[in-house]
Amino acid sequence: MVTGGAKRVGREICLRFAAHGANVAFNYRSSGKEAQETLRELQSAGVRSMAIQADLSDADSCRKLVKCLLSDFGHVDILVNNASEFPRTPLAELAGDPERFEREFNYHAYLHMRAPLYLGMELGLRMKQKGWGRIVNITDRVTVKGQAYRDWVLYLVTKYGLYGITQVLAEELSPEVTVNSVAPGLILPPPYFTPQEVEQILKRIPLRQGASAAEIASDVVHLVLSDSKTGSVVLTDGGTGLHAL
């Protein structure tokens, strides 16, 4: 089960699992057309596949997602919490608009924390009961070295939360289930970044390039195949975290 699997990195992860012969379910929120395309590719890879529309910022929708997964697939062995949002949320703007703060804080907390914890709990405990399971959470490079950058307050705070959830579930679900994270730096810039902004970011990366979505999919598979990693992090950031100011 891959969250946010219709396009970009999530899609690559779905297709990689299919290439390994795994049946794949994924959810999408608004990318219905891309979800159908990904579904077609999964089907042509010869695995059983399912796309479920579900808004992970909504508790009911999360419950229905689990119900749907369990009734159609019966059991989930591997969960990848990939779905995310990356909007600018500068601190001063949030402070000046309390309603926006409440709304956007709750949205980010639900998407990056509540949904992964809920899915990890519901599916992870079932994996544990069955004797085997893998959970991989996609966080962000900043969580590895306690870093931060300005203007993405809610994304960063809740990705730190997701890192915490990873560590806590790693303990709770052991020894049957491993729970790890992949912490990427730049992969695919969001569509609203200008070419100049992307160029500036690339200049600050020692390897001068972002990771490909394919490399992140490899990181996920690497963690899934490991029998000795739990609470571990794969940092794939082109060396960005090397810079001391």
Ligand X SMILES: NC(=O)c1ccc[n+]([C@@H]2O[C@H](COP(=O)([O-])OP(=O)(O)OC[C@H]3O[C@@H](n4cnc5c(N)ncnc54)[C@H](OP(=O)(O)O)[C@@H]3O)[C@@H](O)[C@H]2O)c1
Q: Does 25 bind ligand X (CB under 6 A)?
A: no
Give CB contacts under 8 A, 24+ apart, made by 203-210. Answer: 204/240, 204/243, 205/237, 205/238, 205/239, 205/240, 206/238, 206/239, 206/240, 206/242, 206/243, 207/238, 207/239, 208/238, 209/238, 210/185, 210/186, 210/238
Regarding 158 and contact with ligand X (CB under 6 A), the answer is no
Which C-beta is closer to ligand X: that of 8 or that of 16? 8
* Residues numbered 108-147 forming contacts with ligand X, rule: CB under 6 A: 111, 138, 140
Between 41 and 46, whose beta carbon lies closer to ligand X?
Answer: 41
Backbone angles phi and psi of 161, in degrees to 5: -60, -40
Among residue numbers 59 through 118, which ones bind ligand X (CB under 6 A)? 82-86, 111
Residues with Cβ within 8 Å of 90's Cβ and at least 6 positions away in sequence, in order, are 150, 151, 153
Q: Which residues pair with 134 in a beta bridge?
A: 78, 178
CA separation for the pair 37, 43 (Å, rounded): 10
Closer Cβ to ligand X, 31 or 89, answer by number: 31
Contact stretch for ligand X (CB under 6 A) within 122-130, 179-187, 218-226, 228-236: 179-187
Stretch that binds ligand X, among 21-29, 37-45, 93-101, 146-154 (CB under 6 A): 21-29
Phi and psi of 11, rounded to 5°?
Answer: -65, -45
Helix (H, G, I), strand (E, B) or coil at 244: coil
Nearer to ligand X, 176 or 189 (CB): 189
Work out whether 1 is an interface residue with ligand X (CB under 6 A).
Answer: no
Q: Is 155 one of the catalytic residues?
A: yes
Strand partners, 137: 81, 181
Stretch that binds ligand X, among 8-16, 70-78, 98-106, 144-152 (CB under 6 A): 8-16
If binding is defined by CB under 6 A, does position 56 make contact with ligand X?
A: yes
Q: 135 has which bridge partners?
A: 79, 179
Q: Please, is 131 exposed, middle or buried when counting C-beta atoms within 10 Å of its C-beta (0-12, 13-18, 19+)?
A: exposed
- Residue 30 as a binder of ligand X (CB under 6 A): the answer is yes
Instruction: Please report whether residue 50 would count as binding ligand X according to CB under 6 A.
Output: no
186 near ligand X, judged by CB under 6 A: yes
Catalytic residue among 28, 107, 110, 155: 155
Polymer length in residues for the chain: 245
Closer residue to ligand X in complex, CB, 22/119: 119
**Among residues 1, 7, 38, 114, the one that binds ligand X under rule CB under 6 A:** 7
* Residue among 187, 220, 223, 233 that touches ligand X (CB under 6 A): 187
Distance CA 76, CA 60 (A): 20
Q: Give the catalytic positions in this structure.
A: 155
Q: Enumerate binding residues for ligand X (CB under 6 A).
A: 4, 6-10, 27-31, 55-57, 82-86, 111, 138, 140, 184, 186-188
